[in-house]
Amino acid sequence: MTEQIGKITLDLSKYPGEDLYCDGAVEDEILDIVRKYSRVEYPQLIEQRKSWPILYHLSPLRENIVDFVPMTPQDKVLEVGSGCGAVTGALARKAGSVTCVDLSKKRSMINAYRHSDCGNITIHVGNFQDIEPRLPKDFNYICLIGVFEYGRGYIGGDHPYEEFLRILLGHLAPGGRILIAIENKYGLKYFAGCKEDHLGSYFSGIENYQEGGNARTFSRRGLEKIFQSCGAEEYHFYYPYPDYKFMTSVYSDEHQPGRGELSNNLRNFDRDRMVLFDEMLAFDGIVEEGLFPVFSNSYMAVVGAAFPVRYVKYSNDRAREFRIRTEICKDGQGKPVVRKFPLTAEAAEHVRRMAWACGKLTERYAGSDLSVNRCRLAGQGEDLHAEFEYVEGRPLTELLDECLEMGDQEAFWRYFERYVELIGYQEEFPVTDFDLVFSNLLVDGDHWTLIDYEWTFERAMEARELAFRAVYCYLLENEKRNRLDLDRVLRTLGITEEQAQEYRDRELKFQQYVEGRTASMAALRERIGRRLRDPKKLVQNQESYEKLTRVQVYEDTGGGYTEESSRFLEQRYEEDGHIELELEFSGDVRMMRIDPAMDCGICNILELRFNGEQVPLNTSKVLTVNGKQIRSRTEEGDVYLTVIFPTTDPNISIDIGRLQPREVNILYIRLEYRQVPLRMLEDVAQAIKKWI
């Protein structure tokens, strides 16, 4: 009843004999990848395959959601719903043992093959309810990463989520924690146009899941009610951003985001999405109102004691030698500190170099009014990190934004000129922090502090290039900043347009240097091909379409056609361009004109009936048009009339007097109309003329 894959044991004693949950052929493709390739090759394969499921299941960035959790080699971990093992490897590296439970054998095999060198992983395959009674009751951590929302499927009953949590609480060791990573049903991205992750439809969670489905996500308050009903004595919330799947930052109630921080919002890779508004600007307002916990896209809910970290940022979307994790936490005396850890063995030297950069930059700016945030190396081996003092102050970015928003250009330039003066101190010194962007400087009254200087190089560089780069990055982050007078920036710095372009080219090379051969998540999104739909354009297109496809009908009782004798019909066109009209009118109408659209195009008149009798379309005595007629015949022998209308006022006139009208008449017409650009129609008409 067991199967061995490398060092991993699969317990199949409760496996029902078939996978009841499967994503289809892509799982076979993923299984083939993990059998043939090593983990370090996954990023390259992800780029090559351009597949959302492969990105989702194999991206190393999935591990971020548990990487910051303070597990120790003495901890026992239970992972419920381990799937293809997106986070299992990170758990195995941090903890003493990892027990996985998953319903799918194929997914469990994927998990086992990709972590076959880990001797501390056991995978139970089968339904959680069948496996649960055999599980021990001394786990230090129980992880539900993207799993709690399926509690109804796991447990069933009237209160499945509460029952699920009560069962899990019974398997915790004293002082243990349950980790629940889950989407927020009221996450801002869903208001802005992302489809609900599980149902794949717009606004499903916001509308309280009226469409049904098996999964349920919750608001913070909704989760709190579940925790309280289960008697959980302590729980805390953390806020993964952009969401828990590919988290780059995690905030806490002790450390909320500031204005302008939440700018990386187009991070869904599974489906096309709308962009109803600028999420960064909306988040700015939400942050100012203290509502970020309400609208965070995801939660990491911790049932148990809080984590020692207040904030974490991952920079692992880079070349391996530059991948780091930044934390704000408390030191032994309870004071906040900033720590930077290497995420790869290759990045250790990058972290060590930060202490060197601190010493060199302190030497350069000694005697100036610019302070350099103090840094020291601490820890050894896997605990190696650079530790910085926690500095109070406001980012220069925020101050500059306020100046622009209030229209106080002169205040902006005073800050900018002071910035240029400070960073240019001892410009000839052979050490430069290339990343002197505005967000890396904190201002506290007259006291300015440089807080982040990981991109420090041993060479002198002109202050004007550094300042131009800061402005360039500042503008790229937010379109609202485009009100800044860039010409004045160039004049202030004494930069020509040619030099500015040279600096932009250097910036591109620098980004390539930082990213290495690794494609950014933004680049992967482009390669996967998910589209962004602007609803404003959709509305404009729809309004334009409705206007152009309005049908206008004129009736002539002997005095000719007039606008007063015309009427617009309700929208009648189907999506495929077909329309059916049934018009009732009195016997004194002698001529009738139908304008099928308000733009040039090609029209197929498929059928014409008068008082129930079919009117032949192969005669011009009854029907005339202001376009070029082409008669066509179907395989069944039916004749229909194709008309090319190279005019924005196409019309079809019908001589009612030739059709023996009655006191009350009914005209039925069925046609198809396609809008075509005028130049194309003129070319077609000219070609037809030559053929004829």
Rounded to 5 degrees, what are φ and ψ at 172?
-90, 140
Residue 274 confidence (pLDDT) = 92
Gap between the Cα atoms of 213 and 38, Å rounded:
37
Nearest to 646 by CA among 691, 684, 589: 684
Count of CB atoms situated within 10 Å of the CB of 206: 13
| Closest alpha carbon to 58 in 78, 29, 81 | 29
Taking CA 372 as the corner, what is the angle to CA 367 and CA 378, rounded to the nearest 5 degrees?
A: 135
- DSSP assignment string, 620-645: TTTEEESSEEEEEE-TTS-EEEEEEE
Q: For the segment 287-315, what is each residue's pLDDT rounded down to a tens digit?
A: 999 999 999 999 999 999 999 999 999 99
CA atoms within 13 A of residue 522's CA, in its CB half-sphere: 6
Q: Give how far Cα 375 sits from Cα of 105, 322, 378, 601, Å.
A: 49, 18, 10, 71
Straight-line distance from the first to the last Cα atom of the chain, in angstroms, rounded to the nearest whole number: 80
Going from the first residue of the chain to its last (692 residues), give the mean pLDDT of each consecutive group of 10, the final group possibly shorter: 94 91 89 94 92 94 96 97 97 97 96 96 96 96 96 86 96 97 98 94 93 89 97 96 96 94 88 92 95 98 96 94 95 91 96 97 96 95 93 94 91 96 96 96 94 96 96 88 89 94 94 87 82 77 72 92 86 80 92 92 92 82 88 74 91 92 94 89 74 52
In the DSSP assignment, the letter for residue 271 is S
Residue 438, Cβ neighbours under 10 Å: how many? 23
Give the sign of the dihedral formed by CA 135, CA 137, CA 139, CA 143: positive
For tokens 């921080």, the residue is 261
Q: How far is the C-alpha of 181 from the C-alpha of 83, rounded, in Å?
A: 14
Strand positions, DSSP E, 405-482: 432-433, 441-444, 447-450, 456-457
3-state SS class at 530: coil
For residue 115, the model assigns a pLDDT of 97
Taking the C-alpha atoms of residue 384 and residue 354, their distance in angstroms, rounded to an integer, is 12
Q: Give the span between the Cα atoms of 184 and 161, in whole angstroms.
A: 15
CATH code for the part of the protein at 2-185+198-239+300-316:
3.40.50.150
Q: Which two tokens stand for residue 365?
A: 């700016």
- Neighbour tally for 221: CB within 10 Å: 10
Sequence-separated (6 or more) residues with CB below 8 Å from residue 656:
589, 590, 591, 592, 610, 665, 667
Rounded Cα–Cα distance for residues 265 and 251 (Å): 16
Task: Enumerate the H helices of 193-243 as residue ranges.
Answer: 220-229
Q: For residues 94 and 71, is the Cβ–Cβ distance under 8 A? A: yes
Predicted pLDDT at 619: 62
C-alpha–C-alpha distance, residues 338 and 358, integer Å? 14
Q: C-alpha angle 36/40/44, rounded to 5°?
A: 80
Q: Nearest to residue 452, comparing CAs of 319, 358, 331?
A: 358
DSSP code per residue over 3-58: EEETTEEEE-TT--SS-S---THHHHHHHHHHHHS-GGGHHHHHHHH--HHHHHHH
3-state helix, strand, coil in the chain (%, to 5): 35, 25, 40
Amino acid at 369: D
Q: Which residues pair with 235 in a beta bridge?
A: 303
Architecture of domain 323-483 in this structure? Orthogonal Bundle (1.10)
Under a CB-based contact definition with an 8 Å cutoff, are residues 175 and 209 in contact? no
Main-chain phi, psi angles of 458, to 5 degrees: -85, 70
Q: Where in the chain is CATH 3.40.50.150?
A: 2-185+198-239+300-316
Amino acid of residue 320: R
Measured in whole angstroms, the distance separating CA 124 from the mean position of its chain's CA atoms is: 33
Cis check: omega of the bond before 430, within 30 degrees of 0: no
Q: DSSP label at 438?
A: G
How far apart, in whole angstroms, are the C-alpha atoms of residue 469 and residue 435? 8
**Token pair recorded at residue 624:** 């005339």
Provide the token pair at 224. Answer: 């709190």
Residue type, 512: Q
Q: Nearest to residue 216, comparing CAs of 224, 228, 208? A: 208
Predicted pLDDT of residue 430: 97
Q: Tell which residue, 161, 6, 11, 22, has the closest CA to residue 83.
A: 22
CA-to-CA distance for 682 and 675, rounded, in angstroms? 13
Picking from 499, 475, 477, the residue whose alpha carbon sits closest to that of residue 485 is: 475
Q: Answer for the pair 578, 672: CB distance below 8 angstroms, yes or no.
A: yes
Distance CA 249, CA 314 (A): 6
So what's the pLDDT on residue 616? 85
pLDDT for residue 432: 97
Task: List the beta strands (DSSP E) in 531-636.
Answer: 532-533, 552-556, 566-568, 578-586, 591-595, 601-610, 613-614, 623-625, 628-633
Select from 647, 642, 555, 649 the least CA-distant residue to 595: 649
State the span(s) of the chain assigned CATH 1.10.510.10. 323-483
Q: What angle do CA 125, 112, 156 make, to 5 degrees?
A: 25
* Unique residue bearing structure tokens 């032994």: 332
